[in-house]
Chains A and B, each alone.
Chain A
Amino acid sequence: MAQLKVNNVTLGYEGGAILSRLSFEVNGGDYLAIVGENGSGKSTLMKTLLGLLKPIEGEIIFGDALCKNEIGYLPQQTVVQRDFPASVKEVVLSGCLSNGRFHPFYNKADKARAAANMERMGITEFKDRSYRELSGGQQQRVLLARALCATEKILLLDEPVSGLDPKVTLEMYELIKQLNKEGVTIIMISHDIAAAVKYADHILHLGSKVFSGTVEAYVKSDFGKLFLREEDAQ
């Protein structure tokens, strides 16, 4: 069964539908890139998948023993975070709150999980540094480590490379690919179609027309050709 199944879903805010009758599936270990122009509903879709917004119509089914709370999330940075006084360790640990049971404090297992994920993201050396002093790429690694503390199963990434320089962007994409190879399902929002085609294995293209399928099919389709040619021209 699919890990995540979106069934005939209509999305939007307060009655105004942005996307209607959308259906797709994500299986365990998939790497799905959601692309589309600004305003095509990418972020709205992500918020709905996270349970922050209710779909106007249709349903989202979580399969494979995936609970609603077992989605790791890499959000876009907010203004609040830019000058937030928090150490890297504190931020990563806050991902451990999701395990449902109520403990006022972090236990040993939480701390071990946080330490392991910091190691995995290569940020152990910064663990006592302040989050706001790190570079953009390092901050993204911290947030990825936090997301991994929340789940090992599925990660939603909202524009993971926005604001990063080309070298760090490449490192970030490689890191995400690495996680995917380790078995983490990835859903990534991006407007970088070239990178999406290079790294992902499934594409969901939102817009006036919707494409959903594998990368191979996308590249061959007239639809994909059109967008990839446009990218080249730029």
Chain B
Amino acid sequence: MSEAFQNLFELLSFAPVRYAFITGMLIALCSALLGVTLVLKRFSFIGDGLSHVAFGAMSVAAIAGLTNQMLIVLPVTILCAVILLRSGQNSKIKGDASVAIISVTALAFGYMLMNIFPTSSNVSSDVCTTLFGGVSFLSLTKLEVWLCVGLSLVTVAVFVIFYNRIFAVTFDENFAKATGVKTELYNLLIAVVIAVVIVLAMKIVGSLLISALIIFPALSAMRVFKSFRSVTICSAVLSVCTAFIGLVGSILLDTPTGPTIVAAEAIAFVIFWIIGAVKGGKKK
């Protein structure tokens, strides 16, 4: 084991590994903050849907031979996020169904296009990396890391500044709207931020497992804590910790990063669930 830890410290001295830790934990922080709102708004699966959209956009960008894929992926994902969150309450196709439609369509077209116009000799390995994250995060460029740091800071700042309004819109959209809070604006804001976070997170956990980053911390925190603020704070702290544990674990156990982080979050959820059950049991 001590050998493994020595390996870990050695690895941490490499810049790409440090980058991976920084971006991984920042993304975990952002997705956990937004996760609370999304879970409560019954949009748990929006992460899944949007990441599939991003996957589709990414394959189009790859085929078009763009070097900076973000240029296509980010706007397309933001657009879909806006459409999905806006149609939320009063649409003819209900939220969960529209998320499902957009997500499977994008996934299908993305994979199809990748097979029709293969950009490398090994399509299935490419796809696997995009879906499960793989080791591609070690190939993060300096630009991507800075982009990630910058956007994370913006996300956290937006969340703190608009915290009270986000609470109001999440708890009771109609009341907020009736009392003059610009709910459309905040829904739009949430949609844009969530799209950005998802595009960033795809590099680390891949597009199939992104939902875990969004849902698990919020759900775990809700088992134990009872006010919105404590749930949000707990969710953020927990998410950063599990991301760190998952990253370390993936190096020590030599497992793929994305699934390891998700496994860590799943275990944390079970622990919180038990704590919540014990606490609740005592009260009764």
Contacts and interface: CB of A to CB of B under 8 A. Distances in A.
Interface residues of A, number: 38
Contact of A90 (B161, B167, B225): B167
Given A73-B174, A84-B170, A130-B227, 7 more contacts: A80-B170, A84-B40, A85-B227, A87-B226, A91-B171, A97-B168, A104-B164
Contacts of B163: 104-105
A146 interface: yes
B281 interface: no
A52 B227 contact: no
Residue in A81, A84, A129 with the greatest tally of chain B CB atoms within 10 Å: A84
B42 interface: yes
Given A69-B179, A85-B222, A85-B227, A106 B174 contact: no
Contacts of A89: 227
A172 interface: no
Given A84-B40, A86-B227, A94 B167 contact: yes
B61 interface: no
B165 interface: yes
Interface string B242-262: 000000000000000000000
B226 A85 contact: yes
Contact of B162 (A47, A81, A104, A129): A104
B41 interface: yes
Interface in B149-165: 160-165
Contacts of B160: 104
A52 B170 CA distance: 17
Nearest to A79: B42
B177 interface: yes
Given A94-B167, A97-B165, A104-B164, A69 B180 contact: yes
B80 interface: no
Interface in A62-80: 68-69, 71-73, 75, 78, 80
Interface in A110-157: 128-130, 132-133, 146-147, 150-151
A151 B179 CA distance: 9
B283 to A, nearest CB: 9
B225 A80 contact: no
A85 B229 CA distance: 9
B228 interface: yes
Interface string A85-107: 11101110111011010001110
Contacts of A84: 40, 170-171, 228
A80 B41 CA distance: 7
Contacts of A91: 171
Interface string B159-197: 011111101101110111111110000000000000000
A54 to B, nearest CB: 13
A51 B163 CA distance: 24
A133 B181 contact: no
A90 B179 contact: no
Nearest to A77: B172
A147 B178 CA distance: 10
Contacts of B174: 47, 50, 52, 73, 75
B46 to A, nearest CB: 15
A198 B178 CA distance: 29
A97 B228 contact: no
A43 to B, nearest CB: 11
24 contacts: A47-B174, A51-B178, A69-B178, A69-B180, A73-B175, A73-B179, A80-B42, A85-B222, A85-B227, A86-B167, A87-B226, A87-B228, A87-B229, A90-B227, A90-B228, A94-B172, A95-B175, A97-B164, A97-B176, A97-B179, A98-B181, A104-B162, A133-B226, A150-B179
A47 B170 CA distance: 19
Contacts of A68: 180
A94 B231 contact: no
